[in-house]
Every structure is written in structure tokens, then in C-alpha cells.
Amino acid sequence: MSKYLLLCEDDQYDRAVFAEIFQEVEKEYQLVMLEEGSEVMPFLATKQRRDAYPALILLDQNMPRKKGTEVLREVKASDDYKHIPVVIYSTHDGHELASESKALGAVTFMSKPYDYNEYIALIKTLMTLIV
């Protein structure tokens, strides 16, 4: 698989909007989407080589089965995956969640966009976080 970002978002509308704008803005990376936090670790486990891992993981915080910070904790506890940059994002714009996310190893916390220009800004910021 070519270079890609992994988006884990349970809201179908949010996934569709993000995917549409991502495709318009970003030409070098692809977008792979999962619907639930519990799918992230099994997805990563299917990747046989380090160069097949996502360049960045974007996790929605508020998912029904497994929250973004729970997935973040699992990713950062794994010797195989802890190098992958992870971003938590949420409609909840709380300093406490941002602090918790960073303490668990997220490169940053971001608020979910509400309009087209905010999505573009979010995507451009995400691309600067890829190492």
C-alpha cells in the first residue's frame, strides 16, 4: 500500500466529509478509514512490514466501543506501533482531554472542524505532523 493516513471515526457523515476534503487537498497520501476504535489494533496487526504502517493515525475520541484515548494507549504500548504519530480529535474542546491525550503520547489534540475551511486547515496541519 502506498503512503496513507488512518482515520478512525464512528460518524458516517464525518467520515464522508473528511474523505471528500482530504481527496481534494492531499495528493501524496491516501486515506484509509475505520469505523470503530476496536478495529485499529487488528488492522495494524495485518501489516507485515513497518513501511506498511500508516504515516499517521487520527482518532475520534468519542466512539461507542473504544474511545480514542484507549486506542492511543494501546498503540503507544506496542513496540511495533509506538513510533506512529497519533492525533486525537473531538467535538469536545477541553483542555483536560488535550492534556490527557498528550500525556498518553499523542502528538497533538485537535478540535473537530465545523466547516470546509476548518477541514482544510486540519488536514494541512496533520500533514505537517508526519515525520
| Overall pTM surpassing 0.85 (yes/no) | yes
pLDDT at 2: 64
Annotate 96-130 with b (16+ C-beta within 10 A) or e (fewer).
ebbebbeebebbebbebbeeeeebeebbeebbebe
Statement: residue 1 has pLDDT above 60: no
Domains of the chain: 4-128 (3.40.50.2300)
What count of other Cβ atoms lies within 10 Å of the Cβ of residue 55? 18
For 23-32, what is the mean pLDDT? 95
Q: Tens of pLDDT along 67-110?
A: 999 999 999 999 999 999 999 999 876 789 999 999 999 999 99
pLDDT at 49: 84
Task: Return d(Cα 72, Cα 84) in angstroms, integer.
Answer: 10
| Grid cell 482530504 in the structure block, residue | 22
Confidence of residue 57 (pLDDT cuts 50, 70, 90): very high
pLDDT at 43: 97
Confidence of residue 48 (pLDDT cuts 50, 70, 90): confident
Q: Is residue 109 within 8 Å of residue 131, measured between CB atoms?
A: no
Average pLDDT, the chain: 93
Strands 4-8 and 56-60: parallel
Percentages of the chain per state (helix, strand, coil), in multiples of 5 = 45, 20, 35
For 23-51, what is the mean pLDDT? 94
